[in-house]
Structure 1
Amino acid sequence: MKPKELEQRGGAYYSDAACEVINAIYNDKQTEHYVNIPHHGHVENIPADWAVEMTCILGRNGATPHPRITRFDEKVLGLIHTIKGFEVAASNAALSGNFNDVLLALNLSPLVHSDRDAEVLARELILAHEKWLPNFAACIEALKGKHH
């Protein structure tokens, strides 16, 4: 049974999708699913080393790309590059544990509208999830020191 909060915040069916993916791989179903994988050139006008969400046939040997889109329209490439820049910066921030790296990542996101919003969001997220963020130990201590 799913918590009601899950349906309220969005992503209510991700758990169902995850179970379907596991089932397809474990039972060699050879069924089509949308998954994130390195595309290795299946989409011709973005870097080959990028991971993208695309249709794949899933079975015992994993995901076999079965892309419906092999080239992005020029009108959306700017947004795709912006989002990928955010993803790369967020990954780097997670590894570095550096607050300024988190701020950079958040400021690259089109969903964050100001430096101030990024700073508040970074502080709140890091402190709320500190037990899962060992790379941020020094950052967390500094943030806690500012609150006392």
Structure 2
Amino acid sequence: MENKVPDVLSLEVPAGKDPMDELTDCAVHSFDEANGCNKGHVQHVNCISFTDNESARSRLPKICTAIGWKEPSYDFEEQGPPHNKLFTCKVTVHVAGIVNTVMECFGDPKHQKEAAQEHAAQGALWCLQRYGHVK
């Protein structure tokens, strides 16, 4: 069976490459531990196309929206004197499922607000992947 990119996605595929290798697929897993069963099953599968240089703070809301979750929220804290401020960012992701979970990831203090936001988003993506919410 040949893998084809869905018509709704615009994607340029290099010659000789499988189109599906050019996509990132996300899956939400849940576990029915209440019945003693520990096998994960996929609730949703969504294909999302990313560019190689796309930032984590750009990818994170796309993934959350594709899965059907609320968009992540970002909170910032400023520290230090006005001429040498450090920004710390906290990203909050509401992971909806059988058990609703709120995930909070904190980035390291950075001199630029965008860098602090990027670092927190990288941590959130790592956690989502680590715990099986994103493949």
More RCO (CA 8 Å, sep 6+): 2
- Which structure carries more helix by proportion? 1
TM-score (norm 2): 0.26
- Which structure carries more strand by proportion? 2
TM-score (norm 1): 0.25
